[in-house]
Amino acid sequence: MIARLVGPLTRDKSDTLLLLLAALMVLAPHFGHLPLWTSAMVCATLLWRTVLTLRGSRLPPLWLLLPVALLAMAAVYLNYRTLLGREPGVTMLALLLTLKLLEMHARRDLFVVIFLSFFLLLTNFFYSQSILTALAMVATIVVLLATQVTFQFTGAVPPLAARLKLAGRVFLVAAPLGALLFIAFPRVQGPLWGLPGDANSGKTGMSDTMSPGSMSKLALSDDVAFRVRFTGAVPPQQQMYWRGPVLSHYDGRTWSRIGREQNGGGVQYLRRHLNLRGTAYPYEVTLEPGRRQFLFLLELSALEATRSDANSGFTDELESLVHAQSDARMRYSSVAYPDYTAQANLAPQRMARWLRLPQDYNPRTLAYGAQLQALRAERGDDAALAAALDNFRRNFEYTLEPSLLGRDAVDEFLFDTRKGFCEHYAGAFVYLMRAAGLPARVVNGYQGGELNPVDGFYTVRQSDAHAWTEVWLGAPRGWVRIDPTAAVAPERIRSSLAQALPQAAPFGLQGLSEMSRDRQSWLAQMRFGISAANNAWNQWILDYNPSRQQHFLEELGAAFGDWRLPAALAALGGLVLWWRRRRAERARDPLDDAYLAFCRLLARHGLEKAPHEGPLSLGQRVRQLQVPPGKMAAMTEFLALYSALKYGAPQAPANHLARLNRLLKQSR
């Protein structure tokens, strides 16, 4: 019944359907960000054009298409309030492409649609630059090339598989030129029209404030925050504290940064108050795109050794600030010394901001702090710290789902609920230390990282977000890192959040969940491989910026200055040419080789074979040559045997080929 409705699938119909398939592959990735009405109109237009093609109906007239196109442009303007920019521009291109499919009357219109499809395909990179997007675009390019090739045939058309194979070869021929242009063509600083749409949308990240629940929300995100490559020794997992914003102000609910303390000496001033010693750990960080203003440095990194693409600096609280907030992927390097003394000789009058507490909040905590202050006076600072940490260790629980807290949040946490995540412990501990008379502050950042054995990079995810504290213990100790979470859940610091708080897997997937945590399982190995591929894509493709291009070309030029690289390239080129020649020789038909040798022999006798001339007609002319009878017999028998082997039997036996070669020798 369907065959009666649509009729036979003629050459024009099949070619047009292939074009519609290519257009759908171009348009489909845009449905996720186009307005809903645009996607609906695009799908309806493609369906309309498909029905017209299958039924062999006439295309709609221009007087109908023109008002539709004008209304579509007006709708774009009403939706965006402009016709300029990325979003309205891509929307108009999508609409114009689909409407053009309804207005194809000449061969020129077909190529307009194909070239417009190529241009619209390129706009996918405005929204996503992932590996999957690139692979999908390559597949679409091959289909578009196959469509373009299809319209070039005037006679019989090869099967679709053959056309796709030809299009794939065309793509592979052009790929080296594209790679050369990518490497050598001058780079533009930053992506065209800003970051791709998927760079920041829907992503969470480290904030410069902290309140109950903020870190636990980040712990649910598996997004990559940054990747780290150590160029020498690697510190233990429990020493991987990636320092970010320092929170010193508390208003009774939220911890936040205070105004930046200016220091006239800059980095040199800060260096005089730092003593870095022990093993050095050089490292390089690739920070993922996101709206952030901090560089996360391994505690404690040498200030003078920190190098970054951004304009960054340090505050007196040892934060690394990016002066111009950046959305781009960022790379920086430094050298860390986990054994350090920080700012041990600060003047006591500068401690006020790290002792300040809001009035009329948390009376029970203030009373507990007074007890610890008395203990400090009697037995010293370490005794007070040990008592507070021992209380956390014995009486508290580490959880992602703590109870809601009221006005006196610290009191309720310390004396009532006793369940919380790292932000609860860090905030309560700093409040308690200030109540005991010790300067203290909260440090936000990340803790740990997962080693990828495939590429050797450590991956730090948003789920590794962490909060810890610093307490100032005076000279000669200065600021000392104290992590109360380590007292409650030491496995969080030694391994990861997943080990400290394993999540319940959905019913039926417990085995997969356990397998994903086993680093030796095939699922974990596949995950590591995908992560390494994404990292390589980010490092060498997306992060190939002007400075990296210049560095690469300089290294390439220096390498070419050494005779060994050009010699190796020349040897490789010669090997490739030899292999191609050998392959071509193996691919030749031995029958044709013998026939070509016979034709060259005739040419030496003054008999040139015409391009249209076959072996039988050529044999009639051979008989007119003035040659000895034995040679004449060999020539005529050669042509007769060649005709029988070439156009008769499907495959020439080896003995017949040998006989043909003997006749060729006798003809000489």
The pLDDT, as a whole number, for residue 574 is: 76
The pLDDT of residue 539 is above 70: yes
Catalytic site includes residue 483: yes
Q: pLDDT band for position 142 (50/70/90)? A: very high
Average pLDDT over residues 272-296: 86
The pLDDT, as a whole number, for residue 268 is: 66
Average pLDDT over residues 307-319: 82
The pLDDT, as a whole number, for residue 334 is: 94
pTM (2 d.p.): 0.69
DSSP 171-225: HHHHHHHHHHHHHHSPPPSS-TTSS-TTTTTT-----SEE-TTHHHHHTT---EE
Residue that the structure tokens 């002792």 belong to:
355
Average pLDDT over residues 603-612: 81
The pLDDT of residue 596 is above 50: yes
Least confident of 197-201, 319-323, 608-612: 197-201
Helix (H), strand (E), coil (C) string for 613-626: CCHHHHHHHHCCCC
Strand-pairing partners, residue 441, are 470
The pLDDT of residue 21 is above 90: yes
The pLDDT of residue 83 is above 80: yes
Q: pLDDT band for position 289 (50/70/90)? A: confident
The pLDDT, as a whole number, for residue 564 is: 62
Task: Retrieve residue 341's tokens.
Answer: 């003394």
Q: pLDDT band for position 588 (50/70/90)? A: low
Average pLDDT over residues 264-287: 80
Active-site option among 466, 562, 589, 599: 466
CA distances from 181 to 176, 177, 547 (A): 9, 6, 16
Q: pLDDT band for position 266 (50/70/90)? A: low
Catalytic site includes residue 309: no
664 within 8 A of 637, measured Cβ to Cβ: no
Number of other residues whose CB lies within 10 A of the CB of residue 374: 12
- Specify the higher pLDDT residue, 484 or 545: 484
Classify burial at 451, counting beta carbons within 10 Å of its beta carbon; exposed 0-12, middle 13-18, buried 19 or more.
Answer: middle
Q: pLDDT band for position 457 (50/70/90)? A: very high
97 within 8 A of 120, measured Cβ to Cβ: yes
Q: pLDDT band for position 263 (50/70/90)? A: very low
Active-site option among 422, 464, 562, 599: 422
Q: pLDDT band for position 500 (50/70/90)? A: low
- Specify the higher pLDDT residue, 269 or 94: 94
The pLDDT, as a whole number, for residue 324 is: 65
Q: pLDDT band for position 202 (50/70/90)? A: very low
- Which of 193-197, 229-233, 507-511, 622-626 is most confident? 229-233
The pLDDT, as a whole number, for residue 372 is: 93
The DSSP call for residue 309 is: S
Residue that the structure tokens 């790929």 belong to:
175
Average pLDDT over residues 510-522: 60
Q: pLDDT band for position 197 (50/70/90)? A: very low
CA distance 481 to 470: 5
The pLDDT, as a whole number, for residue 469 is: 96
The pLDDT of residue 242 is above 60: yes
CA distance 152 to 148: 7
The pLDDT of residue 654 is above 90: no
Catalytic site includes residue 43: no
Q: pLDDT of 405-439, one tens digit each? A: 889 999 999 999 999 999 999 999 999 999 999 99
The pLDDT of residue 568 is above 80: no
The pLDDT, as a whole number, for residue 14 is: 87
The pLDDT, as a whole number, for residue 298 is: 95
- Specify the higher pLDDT residue, 370 or 586: 370
Least confident of 1-5, 51-55, 369-373, 468-472: 1-5
Backbone conformation region of residue 321, classed left if phi is above 0, alpha if psi is from -120 to 50, else beta: beta
The pLDDT of residue 490 is above 70: yes
The pLDDT, as a whole number, for residue 509 is: 47
The pLDDT, as a whole number, for residue 505 is: 46
